[in-house]
Chain A
Amino acid sequence: MSKPRVIALSGNIVSPLGLTARENFLAVVEGRSGVAPHRETFGIPEPFAASLFDRKAVFSEAASQGVSGYNLFETILILSIRDAVQRAGIDPASSRVAFVISSIKGNVEALSEEEERVPVSVSADRVAAFFGQPNPPLVVSNACISGLTALIHARRMLLCGQCDQVVVAGAEVQSRFIVSGFQSLKALSPEPCKPFDAARKGLNLGEAAATMILSRTDAVAAGQWELVDGATRNDANHISGPSRTGEGSYNALRYVLPACTVEELAFVNVHGTSTPYNDEMESIALNRAGLSQVPVNALKGVFGHTMGAAGILESLVSMQAVDAGVVPGTMGFEELGVSCPVNVSRENRPTDKRAFIKLLSGFGGCNAAMLFRKGGAR
């Protein structure tokens, strides 16, 4: 009997740039960004730049689809999951389907009002109930790597035979709570971010939901995307500062690299938050892993840092990029400003390769890497 494998059946992205994975991918290759300057938004005194939804537009779109009575966080999750489920043609109410939801703060916004803050786990229950899903959804809340950890965990659930398909969905909604927190950490740039650039000043936050439907299979057909391998590793160093040697990021890369050759990688889609420490750390980890020559790109200039959605969103954009034969450019990048060589470009570049690595790092010292490969002739 052949070893079971895990493939992606479909995907969706709901962001300020569009309501489908396709619309969002086109924004990337056409160089459009959702990041805009904000003053007084959320009543925050210091200006910031972020990619935020027009809330009214989201709720009216949802209402037109018959979705109402949910908070913004739950609403974007439902819109994203519904589109992905329809495209995959799976039954979300099946007991052989599992839901894995990734988010850092859910609807923490409500803490500031009189209403009860709903824990992410309870929001996840409501979303699963919307789809008639009988199993309790599992929430992954692993800071900035949540989405990738969710994919890694979902893949393992399938390999263990715990279910036949998994709906993996991540979402983040911004708020006074989160923006003020990142400002207090001096991590936000008041201008559009500049990943890996010498003049980078910090990150931009973003809002989005993204969904990937995974399925177990015995054989990967041509054109199907396989989640080949992935792991989460900790720096065991500091809760907010990345390891100076890129320890956890390097260990996560080292875990997935035996399953591919460096030559077959179209690119590494890195975290690239545009904070001085993160991008420097990633350059060190890539160098240690022997990946300095492989094209690298970051999507934070387009979507901002979408936190709990980032791992899924950025993987979905990367799959479409490889399908289209493109290494997306890194918006905001101009001049390399990290200590190790990194093969990064502002412009889109052509590629004929069929695999990529998604890399993320986050607070709590966690890091994750996943290798994706498209089935068919190499």
Chain B
Amino acid sequence: MKIVRYVSIRPDAAWLNGVPVPVESKGLALLTDLYRLHVKDYPKFFKMDLLSKLGVVATELLVEDEPGRFDPREDRAVLLFSRTGPLCNDRNYQHTIAEGEYFPSPALFVYTLANIVTGEIAIRNKYAGDTTAYELSSFSPEHFVAAVRAAFDDRITTSAICGWAEAPDPDHFEAFMMLVQQDAPDGLPFCEETLRQINPNLR
């Protein structure tokens, strides 16, 4: 298993394969900028919660140059890990069910499910394979690698968009995601050591 490409997005910057991705804004506006520069025409983006926006934009950076990228495929999984999942949107939804101002929002409620981000990535990119949202109380490269390896024990899966996506509020978010392939000629070995090398936060 090889890491073919990897991406990091934080409120102040984004990197693809360790190289800064040109973007001027900060915070939530950084995600919107990346959307305008890379995703371009997908108005549904503006209906998404913070976690889904982060996941969709990060995936775009990973696969935008891939040949045949919008061909429907069942062999690609989406396996995302988080500590708090959609917590930010939980608060937004909570405001719509307050005493005295009770108008529950269906659009906000849907995004309170932790796996909607994996579904949005699957819909955008036509991935009909395994999609799973996992949660760990802290990002452990060891347990992340083990879980992804176990998920690859699927007769159809040959590659996966996987990684860590954490978005507790619009000023604090982090995506560390990668495209992992079963039989890639080039790339970095998919293991704990590589993850520590390519993500300084893990050292």
Contact call A251/B136, Cβ cutoff below 8 A: no
Residues B90 and A111 in contact, CB atoms below 8 Å apart: yes
**Chain B residues within 8 Å of A108, by CB:** 90, 112
Q: How far is the CA of A140 from the CA of B134 in the complex (A)?
A: 5
**A235 at the B interface (CB under 8 A):** yes
A175 CB to closest chain B CB (Å) equals 10
Measured CB to CB, the nearest residue on chain B to A139 is B135
Interface flag for A32 (CB, 8 Å):
no
Q: CB distance B106 to A247 under 8 Å?
A: no
Q: Which of B109, B116, B140 has the most CB of A within 10 A?
A: B109
How far, in angstroms, from A176 to B154 measured CA to CA in the complex? 38
Provide the B70-81 mask, 1 if CB < 8 A to any CB of A, else 0.
001010001000
Known pairs A153-B151, A180-B104, A239-B120; A111 contacts B91 (CB<8 A): yes
Q: How far is the CB of B109 from chain A (nearest CB, A)?
A: 3
Contact residue among B85, B131, B134 (Cβ-Cβ distance under 8 Å from A138): B134
Of the candidates B84, B118, B122, B123, the one whose C-beta lies within 8 Å of that of A119 is B84
Residues of B within 8 A of A160 (CB): 146, 149-150, 153
Known: A141-B115, A156-B151. A236 touches B127 (CB 8 A): yes
Nearest CB of B to A82, in Å: 21
CB of A45 closer than 8 Å to a CB of B? yes
Neighbouring A residues of B84 by C-beta, 8 Å: 119, 121
> How many angstroms from the CA of A115 to the CA of B132 in the assembled complex?
29
Q: How large is the interface on B (under 10, 10 to 19, 20 to 34, 35 or more residues)?
A: 35 or more
Does A136 sit within 8 A of B, measured CB to CB?
Answer: yes
Give chain A residues whose Cβ lies under 8 Å from the Cβ of B151.
153, 156
A363 to chain B, nearest CB (A): 5
Given A143-B113, A153-B151, also A234-B129 (CB < 8 A):
yes
Given contacts A121-B135, A231-B154, A364-B118, contact A181 B112 (CB under 8 A): yes
- Docked pose: A248 CA to B72 CA in angstroms: 13
Main secondary structure of the interface of B (DSSP, over half): mixed
One of A124, A139, A251 near B74 (C-beta < 8 A)? A251
Contact of B93 among A136, A159, A177, A251 (CB under 8 A): A177
Chain A interfacial residues counted at CB < 8 A: 56
* Given known A43-B99, A120-B85, contact A233–B90 (CB-CB < 8 A): no
- Are A177 and B135 touching (Cβ within 8 A)? no
Distance (whole angstroms) from the CB of B137 to the closest CB of chain A: 4
Q: Which of A122, A124, A181, A235 has the most CB of B within 10 A?
A: A181
- Chain A residues with Cβ under 8 A from B140's Cβ? 136
Contact indicator per residue, chain A 156-184, by CB within 8 Å of chain B (1) or not (0):
11011010000000000000110011111
Q: Which residue of A lies closest to B44 (CB)?
A: A239
Q: Are A142 and B149 in contact (CB under 8 A)?
A: no
B146 contacts which chain A residues (CB < 8 A)? 157, 160, 162
Q: When A and B form their complex, which 7 residue pairs have the shortest distance between CB atoms, in order from nearest?
A: A364-B119, A181-B109, A139-B135, A141-B114, A184-B104, A121-B135, A180-B104
List residues of B whose CB falls within 8 A of some A CB: 72, 74, 78, 83-85, 87, 90-91, 93-94, 97, 99, 102, 104-106, 109-110, 112-116, 118-120, 122-123, 125-138, 140, 143, 146-147, 149-151, 153-156
Pull 16 A–B residue pairs with CB atoms less than 8 Å apart, ordered by A: A112-B94, A119-B84, A120-B85, A124-B137, A141-B113, A156-B151, A177-B112, A181-B93, A185-B109, A232-B131, A234-B78, A234-B131, A235-B128, A255-B155, A366-B118, A366-B131
